[in-house]
Amino acid sequence: MLQVRTRMAPSPTGEYHPGHIRTVLYNYALAKKNKGQFVIRIEDTDQGRYVEGSADRILDIITDYGLSWDEGPRVGGPYEPYFQSQRLDIYKKYAKELVDKGHAYYCFCTPERLAVMRKEQQDQKLPVTKYDRKCRNMSEVEVEKKLREGVSYVIRQKVPDDTIISFTDEILGAISFESKDIEDGVLLKSDGFPTYHLAVVIDDHLMNVTHILRGCDWIPSTPKHILIYKALGWNIPKIAHLPNLKEVGGTSKLSKRYGAVEARGFLEEGYLPEAMLNFLMLLGWNPGTDKEIFTLEEFIQEFSLSRVHPTDLVAFDRTRLLWYNAYYIRNLSLQNLYDRLSAWVDKYDFEFKLQDYPKDYILEVLKLVQDRLHVFKEIKELVLYFLEDPTINKDQLIKQSKSAVLAANILNSYKTLFEEISEPDWDRENLDKKAHELLSLKSYKPKEAFMTIRVALTGLEATPPLFDIIGLLKKEIVLGRLQSALSLVS
């Protein structure tokens, strides 16, 4: 039985996006379900777009999302090196073999000539610009002469005329292309570096990759790759194109108008890797049941290409992602939540550090706000009034009872009540009981009284239960905040 080997081949030209992570996840799951290997290979042959440090950041973010690889950078493997820039002699060898077999040819056209050619084609309103094949039929004698003279060249693919190139996509089914629509593209550049199309085929073959899973935007490249496989007499791996991600209601890629678009950005905002993975699992794949919560191991066991949607786009529903993250946060133990928040604060240099405050007290605070926390970046707003006096808006304070006089009466009444409660009796149940007794005695409406107190103590209108807050805050802090609020309305 053929051992399943999948790969992800990131290009270090920028930051990784959630769609890339989803593709890593699917490749990883397919390999692991079939007791195979998942390979990472760095496709760093586009030197013009290379971004220093990008490869390390990509490897780091894959790791940060809780995924790993069996072969590749940092772990090694039997097919080293796993950086394409270190494999140039391999690509040159096979590019030369393609030329010798008549499936590729030397092209000596200068960049200036190509620019003029494309400008002329654009002026003719042609739907696409393509190389005009000027060097395709150059005689061997002329080619040898130019090579001896050291004329700069590239090697181009010789796409056959009047041919249908077909393959069966493991997700989308039968797909065909007419060769007349495919350009004689560059395989080996003048600097000796291969293009993606040459390098990816060679490396996938030499590394025994059995399944290629990638985004739908790579479909137009597939016939070029199939031609190279056939030209070299190699078996073609199974190919599956995954739907790309789009904003809800949109038809294009993720947009910064709606929030983070880079995989790291979501972690920086405080999304948990396991929540992100669970969300991404279901962006294109359906388990065939109503089950929504999957651990990575559960997903691996249930994943199959047959349940990936045969479509080109799926919606990246940020509201749904927020639900997932809140669900995972709610299900953390308090200690784990504290540890995860502390690690996140340090890793992403968040402005607010829980570690600066007594841990036992913070654990009590987290117990009250855990169900309200959707992403870690919200933590400061949710807990700050437990740690320092809030800024009180006078109009917001008065709004609760619709009268400055009544607001002052409420604040004064409860300040007097709380002054009379001793420290040993300062607990949630007793405070709640005494506050409601005063409510009846003064004939205050519950909403106007307790919302006034809430704003006075927290500066907010939406908080955890009021008497949970009062019971946790020290008596002198409560009295001090009530006095400060009273001074605003008196």
What confidence tens digit (pLDDT) does each residue in 194-209 have?
A: 999 999 999 999 999 9
Q: Is 333 exposed, middle or buried (0-12, 13-18, 19+ CB in 10 A)?
A: exposed
Average pLDDT over residues 319-348: 97
| pLDDT for residue 364 | 97
- Fold equal for 1-72+243-307+314-329 and 394-489: no
Give yes or no: 256 in active site.
yes
Q: What is the DSSP string of 12-80?
A: SSS---HHHHHHHHHHHHHHHHTT-EEEE-B----TTT--TTHHHHHHHHHHHTT---SBBTTTB-TT-
| pLDDT for residue 384 | 95
- In this predicted structure, the answer to whether residue 48 has a pLDDT above a threshold of 90 is no
| pLDDT for residue 1 | 58
- In this predicted structure, the answer to whether residue 254 has a pLDDT above a threshold of 90 is no
Res. 262 pLDDT band, cuts 50 70 90:
very high
- In this predicted structure, the answer to whether residue 81 has a pLDDT above a threshold of 90 is yes
Rounded Cα gap, residues 330 and 332, in angstroms: 6
Residue from 256, 347, 433, 475 carrying the catalytic annotation: 256
From the list 75, 8, 63, 1, the residue with the least C-alpha distance to 211 is: 8
Superfamily of domain 87-242: HUPs (3.40.50.620)
- In this predicted structure, the answer to whether residue 252 has a pLDDT above a threshold of 80 is no
Tokens, residue 7: 């790969």
What confidence tens digit (pLDDT) does each residue in 148-203 have?
A: 999 999 999 999 999 999 999 999 999 999 999 999 999 999 999 999 999 999 99
Domains of the chain, by residue range, sit at 1-72+243-307+314-329, 87-242, 332-377, 394-489
Record the pTM.
0.93
Q: What is the DSSP string of 118-177?
A: HHHHHHTT-SS-----TTTT--HHHHHHHHHTT---EEEE-PPSS-EEEEEETTTEEEEE
- In this predicted structure, the answer to whether residue 323 has a pLDDT above a threshold of 70 is yes
Q: What is the mean pLDDT of the chain?
A: 95
- The CATH code belonging to domain 1-72+243-307+314-329 is 3.40.50.620
- In this predicted structure, the answer to whether residue 393 has a pLDDT above a threshold of 90 is yes
Rounded Cα gap, residues 277 and 273, in angstroms: 6
Helix (H, G, I), strand (E, B) or coil at 385: helix
From the list 224, 208, 206, the residue with the least C-alpha distance to 167 is: 224
**Class of the CATH domain delimited by 394-489:** mainly alpha
Overall residue count recorded for the chain in this entry: 490
